[in-house]
Amino acid sequence: MPELRKDPVTGRWVIISTDRSKRPSDFRIERPAVIGVELCPFCAGREDMTPPEVLAFRNHGGAPNSPGWDLRVVPNKFPALHVEGNLDREGEGLFDRMNGIGAHEVVIETPDHGKTWATMSEPEVERVLWAFRERILDLKRDVRFRYILVFKNHGAAAGATLEHTHSQLIALPIVPDFVREEVEGAKHHFSAKERCVFCDIIRQEVAAGRRIIHENADIVALAPYAPRFPFETWLLPRSHAARFEDAPRNVYESLARMLKSVLQRMNRTLECPSYNLVIHSSPFSEQATDFYHWHVEVMPKLTRTAGFEWGTGFYINPTAPEEAAQVLRNAKL
| Contacts of a copy of itself in 158-177 (CB under 8 A) | 158-161, 176-177
**Residue type at 22 in one-letter notation:** K
- What are the distances in angstroms from CA 59 to CA 56, 123, 127, 315, 317? 10, 13, 11, 45, 45
Stretch that binds a copy of itself, among 19-27, 43-51, 67-75, 255-263 (CB under 8 A): 19-27
Q: What is the 3-state secondary structure (H, E, C) of 126-178?
A: HHHHHHHHHHHHHHCCCCCCCEEEEEEEECHHHCCCECCCEEEEEEECCCCHH
DSSP-assigned letters across all residues of 212-227: EEEE-SSEEEE--SS-
Give, as ranges, the residues between 273 and 312 that touch a copy of itself (CB under 8 A).
273-274, 276-278, 297, 299, 301-308, 310-312
DSSP-assigned letters across all residues of 244-285: GGG--HHHHHHHHHHHHHHHHHHHHHHTS-EEEEEEE---TT
Choose between 24 and 61: whose C-beta lies nearer to a copy of itself: 24
Give, as ranges, the residues between 124 and 163 that touch a copy of itself (CB under 8 A).
149, 151, 153, 156-161
Q: Write the Ramachandran bin of 132: left for phi over 0, alpha for psi from -120 to 50, otherwise beta.
A: alpha
CA proximity to 277, closest of 300, 261, 255: 300
Active site residues: 166
Give, as ranges, the residues between 39 and 78 that touch a copy of itself (CB under 8 A).
none
Smallest gap from Cβ 257 to a copy of itself, in A, equals 22
Smallest gap from Cβ 8 to a copy of itself, in A, equals 6
Give, as ranges, the residues between 85 and 114 that touch a copy of itself (CB under 8 A).
93-95
Choose between 10 and 86: whose C-beta lies nearer to a copy of itself: 10
- Given 137, 217, 248, 315, the residue binding a copy of itself (CB under 8 A): 315
Choose between 96 and 122: whose C-beta lies nearer to a copy of itself: 96
Size of the site for a copy of itself (CB under 8 A): 91
Smallest gap from Cβ 88 to a copy of itself, in A, equals 17
